[in-house]
Amino acid sequence: MKNNDRIRGTTPEIAQAARKLRNNLTPAEARLWEALRNKQLEGLRFRRQHPVGNFILDFYCPAVRLVVEVDGAIHDSQTEYDDARTAKLAEYGYKVLRFRNEQVMNDLPKVLAEIRGVARRLLPPKSPNYGGL
């Protein structure tokens, strides 16, 4: 890997598409972004519409390599693609969480609790304070 955020780089076309998507979030993505932005969840920084290789991730937290995807009705027919995509991301060490638009819109606290729980488990353990040793 070139760096921790990319699977063998991103093409200029993917980067441009990600920029465009950032300006056109779905209502569910916008609602979740309002709750994740500015380190509001466990002090973790999330990026929206973040390019990774040939993929554009809805939300990504680099500190714990956590991907959060918000799936709309169109995704009902994309189960195979989503499963393959999730497997590829897992192969490179990313943890993927998926939520339906309805979950985000109707039960945001539960969605955030699940993201928070997974993020906490992925955080590296804090080193003990040995008085400056």
Q: What's the rounded Cα separation, in Å, for the pair 1 and 53?
A: 10
- 3-state SS, the chain, equals CCCCCCCCCCCHHHHHHHHHHHCCCCHHHHHHHHHHHHHCECCECCEEEEEECCEEEEEEECCCCEEEEEECHHHHHHHHHHHHHHHHHHHCCCEEEEEEHHHHHHCHHHHHHHHHHHHHHHCCCCCCCCCCC
**Per-residue pLDDT reduced to its tens digit, 74-130:** 655 688 888 889 999 999 999 999 999 999 999 999 999 999 999 999 998 876 666
Q: What's the rounded Cα separation, in Å, for the pair 109 and 34?
A: 13
pTM of the model: 0.85
**Per-residue pLDDT reduced to its tens digit, 7-62:** 567 888 998 999 999 998 999 999 999 999 999 999 999 999 999 988 999 999 99
Contacts of range 7-10, beta carbons closer than 8 Å, 24 or more positions apart? 7/52, 7/53, 7/54, 7/55, 7/88, 7/89, 7/92, 8/53, 9/53, 10/51, 10/52, 10/53, 10/54
Q: Delineate the domains of the chain, giving CATH numbers in brackets.
A: 26-119 (3.40.960.10)
